[in-house]
Structure 1
Amino acid sequence: MKLPSKSRKQRVRFSVLAAIAVSLLILVSCAIYNLQYRLLYYPSPFKPTEESLLASSTKLWQSSGDDYRGLTATNEPRPCKGTVIVFHGNGGTAADRKFYPDALGVRGYRVILAEYPMYGGRKGKLGERAFVADGIETVHLAFEEYGGPLYILGESLGSGVAAAVAGHASVKIDGIVLITPWDTLESVAKEKFPLLPVRLLLSDKYDSIKNLISFKGKIAVVAAGRDEIIPIKHAGNLYNSLPANAKRMWTIEGAGHNDWYVYANSSWWDELIGFVSGNVKDEQ
């Protein structure tokens, strides 16, 4: 039996619209897949100059030829209580994070501002695999040079790198600080692109929950109360997933994703490093 002409036209129209919708979804998905590195990484290609290093009282660390692995303060604390390796966020360079050695150096800790491949004039590749492998090597070199105790601090994207490094490094990491972190990159991407199959599109995973599941050291999670980039619930999800024996979470009220350190006062830094170093007990 033949369908009425009107019914055939409606079915054809529906098929065309469905094909257009699927095609648009595929195009958008491909665009997101191809652009995800541009959305996630904002590398600055400029290597610190001698003038900028002098002005900031820092020096290149593990410098060899044209390459280096990070920055340290020219004057290290004496005596030194330990080494903190910092993995910064997705924008700028390690040289922009001078506030870490300023805050931790006076408390007796050596700070290495680790730099990523393709950032700060370094060669290499962008992406989770390259960043984590490079970070693990940085941690091992730091342990060889300084010994322990060794701590890792990551902010934003760097929290994902730090979690992966802490979960896979073969040297002892005594504690880790995760500032404005996500639980997994996938969960953040799903929130921002709810109609896309992000699990299939993301080549980088940064699953901090999985990476820290067997971590034995202290874990500090720091959330910004008004985080406009990574909603605070992701920090909460991460914290709740962590082993219950040695963790603590702070929420810096009023702070945004990129200005949290403005709200971090001296007593907060004392409390944070005291917990991670084992001088202050965790609060359940």
Structure 2
Amino acid sequence: MKSILIIIVVGYALFFLTFCSLQRQFLYFPQPASNVYGEMNTHFIVDGAKLYGWAINEGQPKALIYYGGNAENIEANIPFFKAVIPHYTVYLIPYRGYGNNPSTPTEAALYNDAVAIFESVQNQHQSVSLMGRSLGSGVATFVAANRQVDKLILVTPFDSIENVAKEIYWMFPVSWLIKDKYRSSDRVKDITAKTHIFMAEDDQIISRARTEQLIAEFGNQLQEVVVIDSAGHNTISQYPEYMSGLQRALD
């Protein structure tokens, strides 16, 4: 019995240390850029770093900046955005450390980059809307809380990464350990943009409780919550209801 207890304690300690030292590897899953959908055709310089990406449907008065999920090749959305919202110029800029972009992702770095890119895009368009999916919803809420945004679209969002992690790693004092918390629910009070939220009925990554807790923080700025039946976290964009809902939100 004593040896079993020692094994449990040692195993806990090892996992604890691994979580502490490698937690960002558990959160961020950068994907290399693909040229299947076209070469990168735009870039932004933030604090000396050149961040490359794609601008599609160029020359439109309205713009949409899309923030992707943590393991998403955001360029795979190019055909979708060309077909669904041709009246918006859409910016797909991989996070630093993603695609071919330099450096490593952190919460603070992603926020800083997103605000700088937003300000640059804002100077070129009459209005700018934001769309964040999964991890990107945390980035989108930060920008929307700190800048004047036209519309905000959140896809499979969470109240905080901290709470998502607490559900998974319930045996650890996550709030003390986690570095990148992405507390979207704390920022809702500062968001004025008309907001639309899309949920996947069978989301196995972000629990419904995490999304509903975020929704509960919204007031009159929340325009619509769309639950896509049978959709999963990674398949929600394949459903016609998602396409029509996005068109409705950006009409």
TM superposition score normalised by structure 2: 0.88
Alignment counterpart, residue 187 of structure 1, candidates 143, 163, 178: 163
Distance 1:157 1:209, change over 3 A: same
Alpha-carbon distance in 2 for matches of 1:20, 1:210 = 40
Are 2:235 and 1:262 aligned?
A: no
Tell me the residue number matched to 1:70.
53
Tell me the residue number matched to 2:122.
143
Given residue 130 of structure 2, which amino acid in structure 1 is its aligned partner? Answer: I
Alignment counterpart, residue 40 of structure 1, candidates 27, 32, 50: 27
Q: Structure 1: give runs of 5+ residues left out of the alignment.
A: 1-12, 275-284
Are 2:42 and 1:61 aligned?
A: yes
Shift of 1:134: 0.8
CA radius of gyration, larger in: 1
Map 1:106-255 to 2 at 5 A. 106=86, 108-144=87-123, 146-169=124-147, 172-255=148-231
Distance 1:152 1:58, change over 3 A: farther
Alpha-carbon distance in 1 for matches of 2:138, 2:31 = 19
Q: Structure 2: give runs of 5+ residues left out of the alignment.
A: none
Alpha-carbon distance in 1 for matches of 2:228, 2:61 = 26
Contact map agreement 1:88 1:97 (CA 8 A) in 2: no
Helix, strand or coil for the counterpart of 1:212?
helix
Shift of 1:28: 1.8
Alpha-carbon distance in 2 for matches of 1:121, 1:221 = 30
Are 2:251 and 1:271 aligned?
A: no
TM superposition score normalised by structure 1: 0.78
Alpha-carbon distance in 1 for matches of 2:196, 2:72 = 24
Shift of 1:195: 0.9
Contact map agreement 2:151 2:250 (CA 8 A) in 1: no
Tell me the residue number matched to 1:87.
67
Shift of 1:136: 0.8
| Percentage of matched positions with identical amino acids | 27
Shift of 1:166: 1.7
Quote the RMSD (CA, aligned, Å). Answer: 2.5
